[in-house]
A and B are shown apart, each in its own frame.
Chain A
Amino acid sequence: MNLTLKVWRQKDARTEGRLVTYQAPNVMPDMSFLEMLDVLNEDLIAKGEEPIAFDSDCREGICGTCSMIINGLAHGGMRGTTVCQLHMRHFRDGETIVIEPWRARAFPVLKDLITDRSAFDRIIQAGGFVSVNTGGAPDANALPIGRIEADTAMDAAACIGCGACVAACKNASAMLFVAAKVSHLAALPQGQIEREQRVLGMVKAMDEAGFGNCTVTGSCEAVCPKEISLDFIARLNREYGKAILKNTFPPAGKGGD
C-alpha cells in the first residue's frame, strides 16, 4: 500500500518544529510501524536528507522506549499495543498518517519524535523502591504472600514507563505511572514500612517535574500498552490521603519538633 505521512520534524530542544509531508510507497502489511519508518529513513539518507529520529530498542513491547502519537493517539491507539508492536495491516492504502512526539511540559522534545522522559526516573528516585541493601535477605519463602496480593502487585508492576499516559492526558498528568509503582509496592508486605514516605516523596517529585493534575478522564488507561487499570489511581489517592493525614496530625508525643 501507499501512504502519506506527516511527521513532526524538530532539529533540537531549542528550535521550533513543524510537520513535514513524506510519501511511503510499497508498505507491506507485515511491517511494523517502526519498520515502515526504517524503510523511509533509508530512502531519506540515500537522498542526502536527514532521517527521522525516533526512539526504540526492544521492539517487542517491553522496554518502553518507543513513543509517538499517531493520528492523535499515543502508540496509535490499538488496545494494549506499543507502537513497535503495531503492524501496518491495520492501516488502509492511501491513508494519511500524522506522527508526532509525546507532548507534555515535563517531556521536552530533544529531536523530531524523541523526548526527554528523565522526569519519570526522578520520581522513582524519590521513593519508588524498598530500602533493602544487598545481602542478608531472609529466605524467600519465609514470607508467604497471598495470590491476590501477588497478582495485584504484578498487575501494577507491569508498567513499562513509556509515558503514553502522560501524552494522552489533556493535563499531562503522570498519575497512572505513579499510581502503578505506589500500588505495586503497597500491595506487598515488603512495601509496608516505607509506605507513607514513598507516596509523599513520589507525589512531590511528580509535582516538581511539572506534570499536571489528574481529573480522572481515563484517557491514560485507554492508551496504556500494558492496560494498567485506572483503579490504581484511586488507590494512589487513598494512599496519599492517609499519608497526608498521618503526617499532618502525627501521633501525640511525636509532633512539634
Chain B
Amino acid sequence: MKLDAQIPAGPLALKWDRRRFEMKLVNPANKRKFDVIVVGTGLAGAAAAASLAELGYKVQAFCYQDSPRRAHSIAAQGGINAAKNYQNDGDSIHRLFYDTIKGGDFRAREANVHRLAQLSVNIIDQCVAQGVPFAREYGGLLANRSFGGAQVSRTFYARGQTGQQLLLGAYQALCRQIGLGSVTIFPRTEMLDLVLVNGHAKGIVTRSLVTGEITAHAADAVILATGGYSNVFYLSTNAKGCNVTASWRAYKKGAAFANPCYTQIHPTCIPVSGDHQSKLTLMSESLRNDGRVWVPKKKGDTRPPREIPEDQRDYFLERKYPSFGNLAPRDISSRAAKEVCDEGRGVGPGGLGVYLDFADAIQRIGEAGMRERYGNLFDMYEKITGENAYQRPMRIYPALHYTMGGLWVDYDLMSNVPGLFVLGEANFSDHGANRLGASALMQGLADGYFVAPYTLGHYFATAKQPKPRSDQTEFKKAAADMQELTRKLLAINGKRTVNSFHKELGAMMWEKCGMARNEKGLKELLAQIPVLREDFWKNVKVAGQNEELNQSLEHAGRVADFLEFAELLAQDALHRRESCGGHFRTEYQTEDGEAKRDDENFAYVAAWEYAGPGRAAILNKEPLIYEEVHMSTRSYK
C-alpha cells in the first residue's frame, strides 16, 4: 500500500497557505453538480455538511440518532482550545502547536498539528458569529480557563456544556441549509457499508433504524465523521450508540486503519457501581484545578475519608509530579491512580477509586464559590452516587474516554481510498499517542469548517470520475451483502444476548489492553478474542426482525464489528514495543515508572491494511519526520 501524506513543502508555518494556493478549485456554478455524502452530524460532520452546502455542493447527511443535534459531541463539558492569547499570558499558535505535539508524545504529524493550531483562532470567531454563548468577563470579553498539559489559559467554555453549545451552533447552521434544500438529512439511519466504483468512494449502504429498509446512496465523495471507538471496551464515557461500524466497514473496503492502540483513559470518572453498569460518567478535568487527589497511605484503610489524618494521606500526584501536581496530563494521572489501587490503597467498592478532595478549595473560596464554578458537576455526582461532594471527597477512577487512532488520512484528510474523507475523532491525524483536554472539539471543527470544504473541492477538480448511480452493480451488490449479513445475524437464534458478548469483550479488553499492557497479556487476549467471536456467531440471540425498529439488531451489528476490530487494536498494541502516551507497555518504562519511548524504532504511524477474511492485517508505516520540533522526553515533574 502506498501511503503518501501529501505534506506541502516549505516552512511549517506556511504549509497550509501553500497548500490552499496549490489546490485546484471548482467554479461556483459547477459546485451544485457534485453530491457529497456526510456520515455523522457531530461537530466534524455537521460543520462539514453545513459549510459544503453553503459553498453550493449538494449534501446528504446521515446519523443514527433521531436528530442531528444529539451526536455524541453534545456531551463535551470542559471546553475548546484556541491560540487567541486573549489573556496575554504568552500563548501563540506555535505554543499550542508545541503543546499538542508534546502532549501527543511525539507521535503526531507536525504539519497537521500546526494547521490545527492556526485554524483554532478562526473557530472561535465563527462560533461567536453563530451566537454560541461562551463564558464572558464583566467587561464583555471572552473568558478562558486552564486545562491539563498546558501552562497558559486558552480554553474557551460555555459553563459545563461547551460541546452542547458548539454542536448546537453547527446543528443550526446545518438546519439552515436543510431549510434551504441544499442538505437532505437522514436521521435514524445507520451506515453499514462503503461502496467503491473504480477504486473511488462513491456511496454508502444504509439501514433505516425505523423500517429496517436497506438502501444504497450514490455521491461523488463520501465523508466519514462517525466518532471514536471507545465502546470496544464496553464501559466508557461515550454515548451508548458510539461504534466503530462505519470506520471498520470502510477498512474492510481498503481504507487503512492507523494506530488503533492509541486510546485515552480519562482519570476523573465516577467509578463502577455494579454489574448493571451501562456506561461511565466523566467528571470534567476542570475539577482538577481545585481538587486534590489522594488515597490512604495504609493498605485497606476503610475509615471514612474525613477520619484519616493528613499525615496518613498520600497526595500521590503532587508527590510524583510537583510542578504540574493535580493537573498532570491524563495518561500520567490515570496510570498513577491505577498504581495506587493495584497496591491495595484504592477506596470505595472493590478498592477501585481514589479521592478527589475539595476541602481546601472550599475553605479558600467557600461552598458558594465552588457551587458557582462546578455546581452542575457536583449535582451530577450526587445524582449518580447519592453522595454530597461538598461534604465528602468525590470518588473517581479512570475510564476509557477518547480514541486517538482512526482511519488513516493524508494532509487533505483524505484516506488512501480516493474520495473517502475522514474527519473528527474518526481519523487519526492530530493527537498522536495522547490528546490534550479541550483539543478534540477544536479538531472536529477545524476539520469540518475549515479543511474539508477546501480539500474536497480539490479532489473533485482533479479526480474527474464519472457520476455514479445507485442502480449500478457495485451498489446493488453492496446492498445485497448487507441484507445477507442482517439475515445471518437474525438466523443464529442462539442462547446469549448481544449485550453479554459486548460486556465480556469489554472486560477482557480493559484487563489486558487498558491502562497498562504487556506482551503476555496481549497474546492471551489475541487468543481469547477469536474464541469469543466464534461463540458470538454461533450463539448470539438477536430479538425481532429486520423490517422494524429493532435495537437488538442494531447492537448486534455493532458488536460484531467490535469483535473483529478488537483484534486489530490488540495486534497494534502488541507490535508497538514501546510506551508512548496512552499506550503503556509495562516492559518499557523508566526506573521511576514513566513511559519509555523508542524513537529509533517506532517513530511512525502504523497504518493497518485489510488482507481479507481470516488473514492477518498488513502493517504499513508512515515515518514521522520532525523538521521543527526536537523529540524530547516528555516530563511534567
Contacts and interface: CB of A to CB of B under 8 A. Distances in A.
Given A58-B240, A121-B187, 6 more contacts: A60-B75, A124-B171, A125-B178, A129-B173, A146-B140, A190-B131
A49 B142 CA distance: 55
A153 interface: yes
Interface string B23-61: 000000000000000000000000100110010000000
B74 A58 contact: yes
Contact of B274 (A28, A34, A44, A45): A28
A58 B552 CA distance: 18
Interface in B147-168: 158-159, 161, 163-165, 168
A128 B172 contact: yes
Interface string B191-206: 0000000000000000
Given A59-B240, A125-B178, A157 B54 contact: no
A24 B483 CA distance: 36
A158 B160 CA distance: 10
Interface in B447-493: 449-450, 453
B380 interface: yes
The 10 A-B pairs at the shortest CB distance, nearest first, are namely A144-B140, A129-B172, A137-B129, A125-B179, A137-B125, A30-B273, A140-B128, A153-B133, A134-B51, A154-B133
Contacts of A29: 386
B78 to A, nearest CB: 13
A147 interface: yes
Interface stretch (A109-117, A207-215, A230-238, A241-249): A109-117
Contact of B239 (A38, A59, A117): A59
Contacts of A128: 172, 175
A35 B281 CA distance: 14
Interface of B: 47, 50-51, 54, 65-70, 72, 74-75, 84, 86, 122, 124-131, 133-142, 158-159, 161, 163-165, 168, 171-173, 175-176, 178-179, 185, 187, 210, 239-241, 273-274, 276-279, 281-282, 379-380, 383-386, 449-450, 453, 495, 497, 499-500, 541, 543-544, 548-549, 551-552
B385 to A, nearest CB: 8
A184 B131 CA distance: 8
B551 A129 contact: no
25 contacts: A12-B548, A12-B549, A30-B274, A32-B278, A45-B543, A50-B543, A53-B551, A60-B380, A63-B72, A65-B66, A86-B383, A87-B383, A87-B384, A87-B386, A111-B549, A121-B69, A132-B173, A137-B128, A140-B84, A140-B128, A145-B140, A150-B136, A157-B133, A158-B161, A190-B131
A56 B279 CA distance: 12
B548 A111 contact: yes
A133 B276 CA distance: 46
Interface of A: 11-12, 28-32, 34-36, 38-39, 42, 44-46, 49-51, 53, 55-65, 80-81, 85-87, 89, 110-111, 114, 116-118, 120-121, 124-135, 137-141, 143-147, 150, 153-154, 157-158, 160-161, 184-185, 188, 190-191
B548 A147 contact: no
A152 B310 CA distance: 43
Contact of A137 (B126, B137, B142): B126
A135 B47 CA distance: 12
- Interface centre among A55, A87, A134, A153, by most chain B C-beta atoms within 10 angstroms, is A134
Contacts, number: 222
A64 B295 CA distance: 36
B124 A140 contact: yes
B130 A129 contact: yes
Contacts of A114: 549
A163 to B, nearest CB: 10
A153 B161 CA distance: 13
Nearest to B177: A125
A61 B66 contact: no
A145 B158 CA distance: 14
Contacts of A58: 70, 72, 74-75, 239-240
A80 B383 CA distance: 10
Contacts of B549: 12, 53, 110-111, 114
Given A110-B549, A128-B172, A138 B125 contact: yes
Contact of A60 (B133, B173, B281): B281
Contacts of A50: 543-544
